Amino acid sequence: MSEAKIDEKKILLSGIQPSGNLHIGHLTGAIKNWVDLQDNYNCFFTIVDLHAITVKQEPTQLRKWTLDLAAMFIACGISPEKCTLFIQSHVTEHAQLAWILNCFTGMGECSRMTQFKDKSQQHSENINVGLFAYPVLMAADILLYQADLVPVGEDQKQHLELTRNLAQRFNFLYSDTFKVPEPYIPPVGARIMSLQEPTKKMSKSDENQKATIFLTDSDKEIINKIKRAVTDSGSEIKFSPEKPGISNLMTLLALATGKSFSQIEDEFKGVGYGEFKSEVATSVAKWINPIRTKFIEIRANDKHLKEILLNGADSARRQASKTLRKVFKKIGFVQL
């Protein structure tokens, strides 16, 4: 693709924490959206390891999760040729700009953040300054790339609002420097619920391992988990709020096969739960199998994966350092 073509496209940036194994809900939520966006935007996707250490991390685990996440993105269809995929700590400009932005952020602004309040409760033994300044680092991630758009979930909207405020504040004090980013609200995808408590969202940190389908689960594990999924009373296969268990399985089947809910209802008229679950189980296993196979293949070639990440970091750094140089100059740092 020519440079000019890339430049015409709007810049989109998103980040994800390497804080656990990816499950099927990530695929149908964030990742699928990102895959769809990569053709129409100049996309930067970053694995935010600096953010991850605001809570306690085990080093071996953190390293593994970071590489797993990169490999899984590629396995799911994120193309390193189309977008810039990189690890946050590889581009030191993030920490540098975050420090500067810290000096323009009020204590009150950070202490008002609801995620900070929630996380300080969850991790009351480790309320560190990094956790407090987390949203400022996120602002740096976004502003370094002059991003137009940031896909964010509901829980990150307040952080994006702070990012916009910081950009406007800096621009006002020092003349135009940062693009003020807009939130990108992705089209609502299907929500995948826990297999064991279908009124709760599927989560990577569910204590009950049978509740979550991980993208690295084998066919057999997937099949077993779905066969043991909680269903509802009655015997009809019908999409309805009164049938959260069956509705969740129907959602999975729809995603795996492309069939509509009414098609599924017709097809399974008079069929029992057991047979329906078997059908869902094999369809989902078939859907995830090629992703897992690709993931294993990418993960087995460590050298190639690291090359992709090195290239990603190089190209991210080119953009980030441009912005940081401008900032240094404006605030009065000596340039040699």
Longest dimension (CA), the chain: 78
Least separation in angstroms between residue 274's CB and ligand TRP is 38
Nearer to ligand TRP, 152 or 250 (CB): 152
Q: What are phi and psi of 27, to 5 degrees?
A: -65, -45
The residue (of 116 and 273) whose beta carbon lies closer to ligand TRP is 116
List residues near ligand TRP by CB under 6 A. Answer: 13-15, 17, 48, 51, 138, 141-142, 150, 152, 156
In terms of CB distance, is 72 or 284 closer to ligand TRP? 72
- Minimum CB separation of residue 252 from ligand TRP in Å reads 24
Shortest Cβ distance from residue 2 to ligand TRP (Å)? 27
State in angstroms the smallest separation of the CB of 13 from ligand TRP. Answer: 6
**Rounded to whole angstroms, how far apart are CA atoms 192 and 200?**
9
Contact 150, 160 (CB under 8 A): yes
Catalytic residues: 119, 201, 204
Instruction: Name the DSSP letter for residue 27.
Output: I
Instruction: Report the SS3 class of residue 85.
Output: strand
For the chain, the 3-state helix, strand and coil shares in percent, each to the nearest 5, are 60, 10, 35
* Residue whose CB is less far from ligand TRP, 141 or 279: 141
- From the CB of 133, what's the least distance to ligand TRP, in Å? 12
Q: How far is the CB of 324 from ligand TRP (least distance, A)?
A: 16
Give Cα separations from 198 to 26, 190, 229, 326 (angstroms). 17, 13, 9, 50
If 0-12 CB within 10 Å is exposed, 13-18 middle and 19+ buried, where does residue 84 land?
buried
Give residue 133's region: left, alpha or beta (phi > 0; psi -120 to 50): alpha
Task: Look at residue 25 and give its three-state secondary structure.
Answer: helix
Q: What is the DSSP string of 72-120?
A: HHHHHT--TTTSEEEEGGGSTHHHHHHHHHHTTS-HHHHHT-HHHHHHH
C-beta of 185 vs 300, nearer to ligand TRP = 185
Question: How many Cβ atoms sit within 10 Å of the Cβ of residue 140?
Answer: 28
Cβ distance to ligand TRP smaller for residue 75 or 152: 152
Query: Which residue's CB atom is positioned nearest to ligand TRP?
Result: 15
